[in-house]
């Protein structure tokens, strides 16, 4: 690895541990989230991995993003999974033969190879590309990195801002709980009740071969995920034709789209090409985000259910991540900060942020996105705190992330009250984002 290393003994130990995870999970073209539980390439995982890899090898970080974007569909979507053909189909479900991207997705522009999923994940990729470039601008320019990825990133955002504006209010909608990346969040419960689950005998969950059932979504959740996936696939992954019994506007997803638009504007400036509207789109998206999803009384952003048109009365970590957006109204920033440091989300045992309010009726400290603290959301919120000048809170969250990441064996997530490791160990984005905060503690939005 070719990047400078920190010198404090504790920092060196953490860096070596994070590097070991990332090197061990590297496949030659990309990084798997986990060698056991997630043996393929995942979309937003790869973006977070690239952000950390830039501190070890800029060229490998570039490759991480380029390999993902090489599987982009002709309509602009970046699929949430790129399948490794060398991995047996029974190692992960839904497998390539369930998604059938190259046949069912042909009209939508799915590539013939590789096989992919047909849904998406949050658009962290433009921010990741910009941060990878900044790690070594000379190497990036020499290899033409930004010039290669910019058209693909722009097409990705165009897809979200056109085909996915299902609510007509200027925000991107998600059509499956896997798309916002917070699979079984209580924020989706109400919308999922409309979905008839696939019969339990119609699929086999490979995730339970490597994860404890108490940590994972329930069989009922999975049955609904499978039903939604099959309906979308059978509609040819056509956003206009699919039934979309689950369709919501998610605060985190749209906040990352705003930050991605600002990153694309920065990329245009770096390349010396005119900004075709990224800065203006970020401003419009910010206005729409506040108008449609901000709940001043609750002090956070709400998910909007597009079937009812109403906000969802649940407090998830997704509603805090828009703190990452740089040009929020001052009263919104104050409200988010108050909520983040209040009784709902202040987990003093770990200094991390639970995925669902500690005081919420559905809080569960061990079950995936129903309460555990995740390292990618902590990284995003830490960056938001820095962006808006809350440096003391940002430093506390940074210290909590580094402590819990190293102490948990780079766990997928942890119990927010005790720090007990949950899910997979040697998890790639945990290692990558710990490495990033170790090497770049003052990161802020472009």
Enzyme catalytic residues: 183, 412
Alpha carbon distance, N-terminus to C-terminus of the chain? 26
Tokens at residue 290, please?
């506040």
- Cβ neighbours of residue 309 closer than 8 Å, sequence gap 6 or more: none
Buried b / exposed e over 387-423, threshold 16 CB at 10 Å, is: bbebeebbeebbebbbbbbbebebbbbbbbbebbbbb
Tokens at residue 187, please?
């924020």
Residue 52 near residue 65, CB atoms below 8 Å: no
CA gap 158, 150 in Å, rounded:
12
Residue 303 near residue 315, CB atoms below 8 Å: no
- Cβ neighbours of residue 103 closer than 8 Å, sequence gap 6 or more: none
User: Nearest 5 degrees, angle CA 123-CA 128-CA 134?
Assistant: 150
Dihedrals φ, ψ of 42, to 5°?
A: -110, 145
CB atoms within 10 A of CB 158: 13
């Amino acid at each position: 690895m070719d990047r400078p290393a920190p010198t404090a003994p504790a920092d060196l130990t953490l860096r070596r541990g994070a590097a070991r995870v990332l090197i061990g999970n590297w496949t030659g073209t990309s990084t798997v989230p986990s060698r056991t539980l997630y043996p393929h390439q995942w979309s937003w995982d790869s973006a977070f991995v690239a952000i950390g890899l830039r501190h070890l090898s800029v060229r490998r970080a570039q490759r991480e993003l380029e390999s993902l974007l090489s599987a982009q569909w002709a309509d602009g979507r970046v699929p949430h999974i790129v399948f490794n053909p060398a991995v047996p189909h029974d190692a992960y479900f839904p497998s390539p033969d369930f998604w059938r991207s190259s046949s069912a997705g042909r009209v939508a522009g799915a590539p013939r190879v590789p096989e992919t999923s047909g849904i998406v994940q949050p658009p962290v990729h433009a921010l990741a590309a910009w941060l990878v470039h900044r790690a070594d601008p000379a190497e990036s320019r020499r290899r033409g990195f930004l010039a290669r990825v910019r058209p693909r990133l722009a097409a990705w955002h165009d897809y979200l801002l056109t085909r996915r504006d299902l609510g007509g209010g200027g925000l991107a909608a998600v059509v499956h709980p896997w798309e916002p990346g917070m699979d079984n969040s209580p924020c989706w419960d109400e919308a999922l009740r409309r979905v008839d689950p696939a019969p339990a005998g119609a699929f086999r969950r490979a995730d339970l071969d490597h994860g404890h059932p108490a940590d994972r979504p329930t069989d009922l959740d999975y049955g609904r995920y499978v039903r939604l996936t099959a309906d979308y696939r059978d509609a040819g992954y056509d956003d206009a034709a699919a039934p979309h019994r689950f369709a919501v506007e998610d605060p985190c997803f749209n906040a990352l789209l705003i930050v991605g638009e600002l990153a694309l504007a920065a990329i245009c400036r770096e390349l010396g090409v005119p900004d075709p509207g990224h800065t203006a789109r970020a401003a419009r998206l910010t206005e729409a985000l506040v108008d449609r999803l901000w709940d001043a009384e609750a002090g956070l952003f709400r998910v909007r259910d597009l079937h009812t048109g109403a906000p969802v009365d649940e407090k998830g970590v997704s509603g805090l991540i828009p703190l990452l957006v740089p040009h929020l109204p001052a009263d919104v920033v104050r409200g988010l900060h108050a909520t983040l440091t209040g009784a709902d989300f202040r987990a003093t045992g770990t200094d991390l942020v639970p995925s669902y309010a500690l005081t919420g009726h559905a809080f569960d400290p061990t079950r995936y996105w129903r309460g555990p603290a995740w390292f990618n959301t902590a990284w995003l919120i830490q960056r938001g705190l820095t962006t808006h000048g809350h440096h003391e809170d940002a430093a506390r969250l940074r210290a909590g992330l580094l402590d819990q990441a190293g102490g948990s064996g780079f766990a997928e997530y942890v119990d927010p009250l005790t720090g007990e490791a949950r899910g997979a160990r040697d998890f790639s984005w945990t290692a990558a984002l710990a490495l990033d905060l170790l090497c770049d503690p003052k990161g802020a939005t472009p």
